[in-house]
């Protein structure tokens, strides 16, 4: 009986690790496409990654427990890495403003349109 309980506990730990790995991979795939994404898009990717090994409810619960996701003001999800990447892009854009001469003046550019 002790052996059976030990095996059950080990299986639960492995399942937990597998679900976490699946969710991590789904977050990576989803955040490559979008900086912020709706929960249902991530859940769809988690289900695809799990290949039927876990139920929607199990994976949804795992998603709810995921601490690396941040909810945006409009209800979408994002990651700390995505936010940091966006901050870096904004910093680079702002720090390189007006350091190069324009290729054309406004009148010339308007003629090209």
Summarize pLDDT for 53-99 with one digit per residue, the tens. Answer: 999 999 999 898 888 899 999 999 999 999 999 999 999 888 888 78
Among the listed residues 20, 9, 32, the one whose alpha carbon sits nearest the alpha carbon of residue 78: 32
Summarize pLDDT for 32-59 with one digit per residue, the tens. Answer: 989 999 999 999 999 999 999 999 999 9
Residue ranges covered by each domain of the chain? 2-96
Neighbours of 82 (CB within 10 A): 18
pLDDT category at 100 given cuts 50, 70, 90 is confident
Tell me the CATH architecture of domain 2-96.
Orthogonal Bundle (1.10)
Where does the chain show beta strands of DSSP type E?
Answer: 69-71, 77-79
* Separation between Cα atoms, residue 109 and residue 69, nearest integer Å: 43
**Which residues in 21-60 are b (16+ Cβ under 10 Å) and which e?**
ebbeebbeebbeeebbbeeeebbebbbebbeeebeeeebe
């Amino acid at each position: 009986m002790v052996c059976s309980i030990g095996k059950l506990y080990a299986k639960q730990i492995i399942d937990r690790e597998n679900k976490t790995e699946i969710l991590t991979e789904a977050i990576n795939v989803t955040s490559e496409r979008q900086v912020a994404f709706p929960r249902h898009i991530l859940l769809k990717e988690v289900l695809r990654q799990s290949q039927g090994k876990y139920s929607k409810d199990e994976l949804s619960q795992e998603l709810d427990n995921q601490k690396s996701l941040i909810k945006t003001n409009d209800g979408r999800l994002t990651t700390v890495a995505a936010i940091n990447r966006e901050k870096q892009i904004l910093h680079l854009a702002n720090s390189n403003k007006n350091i190069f001469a324009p290729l054309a003046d406004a009148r010339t550019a308007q003629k090209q349109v």
